[in-house]
């Protein structure tokens, strides 16, 4: 009798355990499946063409506007030359970007971003060596960010024309960064020299 009861309890226990295990497996599968779909979707989406194009347009407009300001206010010839080149290259890049955006039916922003507008206002209040140092610092930082975004776009955007634009502009952005770093080093050294000369007086 006790042996029969033990068998019944054993079978009941195994059945309950298997049922629980089966339910847990189903629930775990249901919980994991949406997450897998979401992560796959995010991986496939990447950096959209529209997002990249709109960001690039805002970047071009900011570089042109700040470059024009620097052409007027910069003191060091190295900074003036940097600003002139940036205005010319980004004006050309913006015209090419307009054609790409038109092909993809993407509306470009008409003005710089709020952050870039604040940067412009801040730099507009400066002059002389202080302007040169702040402007070159801004150009180094901006072009480092731009290069990172354009490299990311090379592998993420879908439209061949957008991808080609990113690849074509990268060498120009890298050249701007090198020139900005050179100008920054020059105005920083000049500022230090003047500071030392002032301390000897």
Residue spans of the domains in the chain: they are 1-45, 47-200
What pLDDT shows up at residue 8? 53
CATH class, range 47-200: mainly alpha
What pLDDT shows up at residue 35? 40
What pLDDT shows up at residue 170? 97
CB-based contacts of 26-35 (< 8 A; 24+ apart in sequence) = none
Please name which of 79, 59, 46 lies closest in space to residue 185, comparing C-alpha atoms.
79
Phi first, then psi: what are they for 74, rounded to 5°? -65, 145
Q: Taken in order 126, 57, 92, 182, is the CA torsion positive or negative?
A: positive
What pLDDT shows up at residue 47? 65
Judge contact between 120 and 131, C-beta under 8 A: no
**Phi/psi zone of residue 128: left (φ > 0), alpha (ψ -120 to 50 degrees), beta?**
left
pLDDT in tens, the chain (201 residues): 556 655 556 555 555 555 554 545 444 454 444 443 333 333 344 569 999 999 999 999 999 999 999 999 999 999 999 999 999 999 999 999 999 999 899 999 999 999 999 999 999 999 999 999 999 999 999 999 999 999 999 999 999 999 999 999 999 999 999 999 999 999 998 766 565 544 445
């Amino acid at each position: 009798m006790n042996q029969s009861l033990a068998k019944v309890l054993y079978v009941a226990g195994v059945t309950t355990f298997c049922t629980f295990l089966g339910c847990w497996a189903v629930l775990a599968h249901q919980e994991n499946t949406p997450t897998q779909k979401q992560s796959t979707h995010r991986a496939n989406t990447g950096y959209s063409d529209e997002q990249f194009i709109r960001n690039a347009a805002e970047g071009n407009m900011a570089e042109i506007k700040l470059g024009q300001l620097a052409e007027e206010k910069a003191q060091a010839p190295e900074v003036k030359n940097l600003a002139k080149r940036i205005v010319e290259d980004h004006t050309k890049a913006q015209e090419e970007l307009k054609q790409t955006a038109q092909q993809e039916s993407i509306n470009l922003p008409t003005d710089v971003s709020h952050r870039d507008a604040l940067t412009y206002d801040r730099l507009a209040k400066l002059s002389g060596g202080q302007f040169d140092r702040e402007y070159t610092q801004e150009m180094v930082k901006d072009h480092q960010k731009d290069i990172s975004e354009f490299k990311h776009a090379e592998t993420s955007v879908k439209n061949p024309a957008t991808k080609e634009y990113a690849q074509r502009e990268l060498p120009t952005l890298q050249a701007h960064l090198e020139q900005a770093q050179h100008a920054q080093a020059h105005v920083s050294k000049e500022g230090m020299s003047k500071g030392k000369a002032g301390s000897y007086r």
